[in-house]
Structure 1
Amino acid sequence: MSETATIGVDATPRVSKRFRLQWEEAQQAWVLLYPEGMVRLNQSAGEILRRCDGARSVAEVVADLEQAFAT
């Protein structure tokens, strides 16, 4: 049986220092740069990762996303 890792709502996620998140104007998309290359992110992934700054909690990230994309 495998265990599932969970993260609490008070955790403050951030992108590892080995990676860099940046807006790529030529691709009109967020990209994640790492030593071996680059990953083009879809809109949802970019919006989530740019909020994972180590200052905001998971709850704050979720609340911000809910407000930004309220339908």
Structure 2
Amino acid sequence: MNETNVSKRPRLRAPLELRWRADRRTCELLHLPGGMELNRSAGEILARCNGTRELDDIITELEAHFGAYGLAPDIYRFIDEARRLGWLD
């Protein structure tokens, strides 16, 4: 799915919240039946989905954070899937 099909300011849907493990390699998405363990990349994306950041700003920030560029297609796909699963507004 492309940029026009996702919210410009994605937000983690209430009452979901993230809890990072002590080593910050994984996090848990709380308030789902059984919870959901996520890898660091997924957690870093969702942690920035607070409704105040434009999706393009999130992508720019993540590219700088990870020192990698061209992440937009993967982030859009993840956001689309997170929306489909009901994790994002």
TM class, shorter-length: 0.7 to 0.9
Report the structure, 1 or 2, having the larger helix content.
Answer: 2
TM-score normalised per structure 1:
0.76
Q: List 4+ stretches of structure 1 deviating above 4 A.
A: none
Residue identity opposite 2:21 in structure 1: E
Distance (whole Å) between structure 1 residues aligned to residue 6 and residue 32 of structure 2: 27
TM-score normalised per structure 2:
0.62
Size of the alignment, in residue pairs? 66
Q: Give 1:24 shift.
A: 2.8
Q: Unaligned stretches of 5+ in structure 2?
A: 69-89
Answer with 1 or 2: which has the greater Rg: 1
Distance (whole Å) between structure 2 residues aligned to residue 44 and residue 7 of structure 1: 19
Identical-residue share of aligned pairs (%): 33
Q: Unaligned stretches of 5+ in structure 1?
A: none
Report the structure, 1 or 2, having the larger strand content.
Answer: 1
